[in-house]
Structure 1
Amino acid sequence: MQMIPKRLPVDIYHPHKANAEEMTKYHSDDYIKFLHSICPDNMSEYSKQIQRFTVGEDCPVFDGLFEFCQLFTGGSVASAVKLNKQQMNIAVNWAGGLHHAKKSEASDFCYINDIILAMLELLKYYQRVLYIDIDIHHGDGVEKAFYTTDQVMTVSFDKYGEYFPGTGDLWDIGAGKGKYYAVNYPLRDGTDDESYEAIFKPVMSKVIKMFQPSAVILQCGSDSLSEDRLGCFNLIIKGHAKCMEFVKSFNLPMLMLGGGGYSIHNVTRCWTYETAVALDTEIPK
């Protein structure tokens, strides 16, 4: 007799593709027009724009580039809308989390900053939104976008020093109205579960107590795991997931996003496990 698996308490949505108008709520019109037009066959016609928008080396041009951007961006924005309408407590878009993209600049495989666009959507309903980044790389694009506002607090735990993107200094704390609303915690090579947890929990407890956010965006880049091809931390999947589980314990509306990850077995196992944790569901080992 075949056992019928119990249905998980999760709804799967197929969001619309984000259009150019939605993307230009943050990104510049000419940058979005460029992404819409560029393809491998016409790159020679856009040599100046390629250089201007820093597309090429770590942000390659490929067939379907703009549609790719539409899909992951649409997922993040639609997730924010679901949270705004209180149709769910936790929304997940593992295709999102591209935290390096700037207003008119692609960076490190990030073309559109879906996080910023989702944040702008959440701010329509929530007075204060907390952004937490546990990718090994600093969330520079998101921090830069909200560096002078007190409505968003950005917190990034990352490798700092001679390491991409070279930002995320302890003393980068925001400016103007946003002073003290940017928090960066630089970490050393080899950071393991125990040391990461000893930092993450007290820092985030204090941040949430003082900032009192109405909603949270958590970027769960898996390149902070051990054996990542580009990373240099020593976290295991359960240690990584403890960060998400701790944030979840505050019972705030939460958008969980993907991000970096350069060892495919790490990425798939990590985000599968964290989906299960979000659902309070055990999965077979």
Structure 2
Amino acid sequence: MVPRRIDMAHTLIRSYGLLGDMARLRTRPATDADISGFHDGRYVGLLRDLTPEGFGAGGEVARRARASGFCYVNDIVLAIEGLLGHFRRVLYVDIDVHHGDGVETAFVGSNRVMTVSFHQRTEGFFPERRGLPEHVGEGDGRHRAVNVPMKKGMDDDGYRRLFEPIMSKVMEVFQPEAIVMQCGGDSLSDDRLGHQNLSIDGHARCVGFMRSFNTPLLLLGGGGYTINHVAACWCYETAVAIGKEIADDIPAHCYDGYYRSQGYKLRYPVDKNLKNDNTDTYVTRTKCAVLRNLCELEAAPSVEFKEPAGGSIDAEALFHRRPPREDDDPMERLHRRCGEMEEGGFVMELGKRQLDLAKDDRESGGHHHAHRPEPVKKHRSGKLHIEYHAHDHVF
């Protein structure tokens, strides 16, 4: 995924004047050692050999030693592991349309992390493994993996009827000291890959609900492939997170043409022609199954708190404040840091490498696949990120 949707969200947030209401922090670049805190060192070495720089391909389905979906580095797992050095229990909530199986697998046996995933689970929809209510974790982590599968066409009302009672019960029985919430925009109506029917208000209601518990909350982006909808959603959810009301009319700015199809409004109409396969009976049955599992969870575990290796994390060493700058554009920073090669030249060079690989393959009788380009490694803002150019359409 190219970073355009991320830049669109940042620019829209700036256009609404929300940046002045936040203390912005810039993280230090992650080291190989940081990333190897979860990922296999050989896999990190493979990524290290790839160039150039970009951002936007960390995500919830990446595994320890391999990429999955559009995700190459599981920055969410790395974030949670960092939080575990300061909090006894961390809750992960995922409202992306895809099952957050990478994060779930990473902590499946832990009694200090609970993962809750609300996702579409239909035949042929990625990922098809697990993700059912009966998949509740293992060992010490039993009943600390919560899965809420949905069929196509889930609307705001059905989502609310699942999300709010389930998350209320989760907060009651697990009593987290910190929350990490992944707000993937592919559960919105009219997404290019997802098949749900949430409005921006319905999606943001989940953010507001978790904010209401007054627990430290880390909000993250995620999937989302209709980029104007994603940017509008993340802008609105930023306003919800900081308690600001913003107008529905989108301010004039460099990307406002992308919002023409939605009348230059933050909100756009949901698809009235999309059938909702989530019947009242299905929603009730799913909710009851999940709540029964949560009732099996003992009272919040008494966990001995141990300092992480190397002692406490110094927040001032991780972050440094910078004064607000209206002209601080993440795309410009990306282009400055790429330096070595402009994007078109890089893609041409990548294609040449693939053709050379295919030629070598024919000559050697091997089995390289020249039609699938290599992922592209980039570093930015405290995480390792990858772009992937293997698809006809780059989002």
Compute the TM-score of the two structures, normalised by the length of structure 1. 0.78
The 3 A distance-change label for structure 1 pair 182 and 7 is closer
Q: Aligned partners of 2:18 and 2:219: how far apart in 1?
A: 24
Q: Aligned partners of 1:208 and 1:127: how far apart in 2?
A: 14
Aligned residue number for residue 150 of structure 1: 111
Q: Cα deviations across residues 152-205 of structure 1 (Å, max 9, x unaligned)? A: 000000011321011312211000001100000001111000110111000000
Aligned residue number for residue 37 of structure 1: 49
Compute the TM-score of the two structures, normalised by the length of structure 2. 0.57
Q: Which amino acid is 1:231 matched to?
A: G
Q: What aligned pairs does 1:24-173 form with structure 2 within 5 A after superposition?
A: 24-38=36-50, 63-64=51-52, 67-68=53-54, 95=56, 98-162=59-123, 163-167=125-129, 168-173=131-136
Aligned residue number for residue 35 of structure 2: 23
Deviation at 1:16, TM superposition (A): 1.5
Q: Which residue, out of 184, 198, 211, partners 1:248?
A: 211
The 3 A distance-change label for structure 1 pair 269 and 97 is farther
Larger radius of gyration: 2
Q: What aligned pairs does 1:198-213 form with structure 2 within 5 A after superposition?
A: 198-213=161-176
Aligned residue number for residue 255 of structure 2: none
Structure 2 contact 57–70 (Cα < 8 Å) conserved: no
Deviation at 1:102, TM superposition (A): 0.5
The 3 A distance-change label for structure 1 pair 122 and 187 is same
- What RMSD in Å do the two structures reach over aligned CA positions? 1.4
Q: Aligned partners of 2:186 and 2:144: how far apart in 1?
A: 25
Any idea what SS the aligned residue of 1:164 has?
coil
Q: Cα deviations across residues 57-107 of structure 1 (Å, max 9, x unaligned)? A: xxxxxx42xx43xxx6xxxxxxxxxxxxxxxxxxxxxx5760010000101
Q: Structure 1 stretch 224-233 or stretch 8-17: which is displaced more?
A: 8-17
Gaps of 5+ in 2: 1-16, 249-395
Any idea what SS the aligned residue of 1:143 has?
helix
Q: Aligned partners of 1:119 and 1:234: how far apart in 2?
A: 29
Q: Aligned partners of 1:216 and 1:7: how far apart in 2?
A: 23
Any idea what SS the aligned residue of 2:21 has?
coil
Structure 1 contact 97–219 (Cα < 8 Å) conserved: no
Deviation at 1:11, TM superposition (A): 1.1
Aligned residues: 230
Deviation at 1:109, TM superposition (A): 1.1
Q: Which residue, out of 146, 150, 160, partners 1:187?
A: 150
Kindly, what percent of the aligned residue pairs are identical?
A: 47
Q: Aligned partners of 1:6 and 1:145: how far apart in 2?
A: 35
Aligned residue number for residue 41 of structure 1: none
Q: Cα deviations across residues 21-55 of structure 1 (Å, max 9, x unaligned)? A: 100000011000000103xxxxxxxxxxxxxxxxx
Deviation at 1:14, TM superposition (A): 1.9
Q: Aligned partners of 2:57 and 2:203: how far apart in 1?
A: 18
Q: What aligned pairs does 1:197-236 form with structure 2 within 5 A after superposition?
A: 197-236=160-199
Q: Which has the higher contact order (CA 8 A, sep 6+)?
A: 2
List structure 1 runs of 4+ shifted beyond 3 angstroms: 5-8
Deviation at 1:6, TM superposition (A): 8.6
Q: Structure 1 stretch 160-169 or stretch 127-136: which is displaced more?
A: 160-169
The 3 A distance-change label for structure 1 pair 13 and 171 is same
Any idea what SS the aligned residue of 1:154 has?
strand
Structure 2 contact 18–239 (Cα < 8 Å) conserved: no
Q: Aligned partners of 2:19 and 2:193: how far apart in 1?
A: 37
Aligned residue number for residue 266 of structure 1: 229
Any idea what SS the aligned residue of 2:26 has?
coil
Q: Which amino acid is 2:37 matched to?
A: K
Structure 2 contact 122–152 (Cα < 8 Å) conserved: no
The 3 A distance-change label for structure 1 pair 126 and 96 is farther
The 3 A distance-change label for structure 1 pair 7 and 105 is closer
Q: Which amino acid is 1:33 matched to?
A: G
Deviation at 1:9, TM superposition (A): 2.5
The 3 A distance-change label for structure 1 pair 284 and 114 is same
Deviation at 1:232, TM superposition (A): 0.4
Q: Aligned partners of 2:98 and 2:58: how far apart in 1?
A: 12
Deviation at 1:8, TM superposition (A): 3.6
